[in-house]
Amino acid sequence: MIEQTSLRQICTKEDVRLLVDILNDLAAQTWHKISVGPSRGLAFGEESLTDHNLFELDRLGAPIEVYKFDKTEEPYNGADFEWWIGSDTTRWLGLRFQAKKLDDDGVYAQLGHWVRGRRQYDLLLEQAQRDNVWAFYCFYNGWSGSWPKGVTNAGCKNRRTPAPFGVGDGSCVHAYLEDFGCAIAPAATVARRHQGEPRNGRLALEEHLRYSRPWSHIFGDRKRHFQEPRQIVQELPAHLLGWSIRRAGAASNVDQLSGLPDGAGYHRELPPWLEARRRGATSQEGYRPAIAVVFDVG
C-alpha cells in the first residue's frame, strides 16, 4: 500500500503549507510524465493528467472533495475543471481552468482550438465572466533541460529563474523548475498572446511561460504562503487581480474580454449543480465542468 499524505482540515498555516507542498509534488509528477513518458512509449494525454492529479487531491481526505460529471458543458464553456475555495461561512471563490499539455515540439498546439466557429478561449472568457469565476489556463509542462533563456519568471520579484529540484545556488527560491509541471496563466493573457500569433497559431512554450506561475501559487509560493484560510478567501481576488492585470500587458484591444469576473469570483453558496452532488445526486445530474474540486477551508 502506498503511503498516503492526508489533510484533516485546511485551517492552519501548516495545513496551507502542506497543501502547497502537495500541489508542487503533483506538478513534479506531471513534469516527469511529460518529459520522460514519450521516450518510454508512455505518453499521457491532457485528460489522464487531469484525472490523475485531481484523483490524488481527492485522496487527501475530508477538506478536499472532487466530483466528476458525466454530462459536461466543456465544449460550450471551454472548461476542464473548476476549483471552489472557501466555506459556507466565509463565502466561496470560483476558479475555472482549461488544461493544455505541452506537445513534444514545445508548443501548445491545441490552444487555438475552434468550437462551433469560435475560439475556445473566447468561450472560456465569456462564460467565466457570466458565471462570476476566474478563468485560467492550466498548462501541463515537462522537458529535459533548464529554464528557457530570456524568459522572465513571473512569480519571482528578484527576477531569478527556477532551477531543477535540488540544484541551483542563486536561483529562484519561490519555485523550482518542476513546480511548473502544472502552471497557470490568466486566460485573458493567453488569448491576447495567441491573437498575436507570431508562429501562425502555434505559439511556443516561451510565449506563455513568461506569464505562467505554478498552480500551487494560488495558495502560496515556496517562500511565502497564506497564513490561514480566511486570508485566502479574503485576499485571493486581489492576488489574482494583480496577477491578471499586470501580466495581461498592454490591452491593445479594448474590446477584448478582460477575464475579470463581475463580483470578484465570490459566491455566497456553491452553485446548485455542485451543491446537489455534495448532497448525493448522481454524476449524471447537473451539468457544468467535467470535474469540480471543493477546497473547504471552513
Residue matched to cell numbers 466555506: 87
Q: Is the Cβ of residue 10 or residue 172 nearer to Zn ion in the bound state?
A: 172
- Which has the closest alpha carbon to 69: 281, 290, 292? 290
d(CA 213, CA 154): 6
Q: Is the Cβ of residue 81 or residue 226 nearer to Zn ion in the bound state?
A: 226
Least distance from C-beta 163 to Zn ion, angstroms?
A: 10
Could you tell me the maximum CA-CA distance found in the chain, to the nearest angstrom?
Answer: 55
CA distances from 65 to 54, 110, 145, 240 (A): 9, 29, 36, 23
Q: Is the Cβ of residue 48 or residue 152 nearer to Zn ion in the bound state?
A: 152
Q: Is the Cβ of residue 33 or residue 217 nearer to Zn ion in the bound state?
A: 217
- Which has the closest alpha carbon to 283: 83, 87, 71? 71
d(CA 107, CA 183): 14
Q: Is the Cβ of residue 220 or residue 265 nearer to Zn ion in the bound state?
A: 220
CA distances from 281 to 36, 83, 87, 263 (A): 39, 19, 20, 28
d(CA 291, CA 83): 9
Q: By the criterion CB under 5 A, which residues form the site for Zn ion?
A: 156, 160, 172, 174
Q: Phi/psi of residue 202, each to 5°?
A: -115, 65
Q: Residues 42, 43, 45, 48: is their CA dihedral positive or negative?
A: positive
Q: Is the Cβ of residue 6 or residue 152 nearer to Zn ion in the bound state?
A: 152
Q: Phi/psi of residue 261, each to 5°?
A: -75, 140
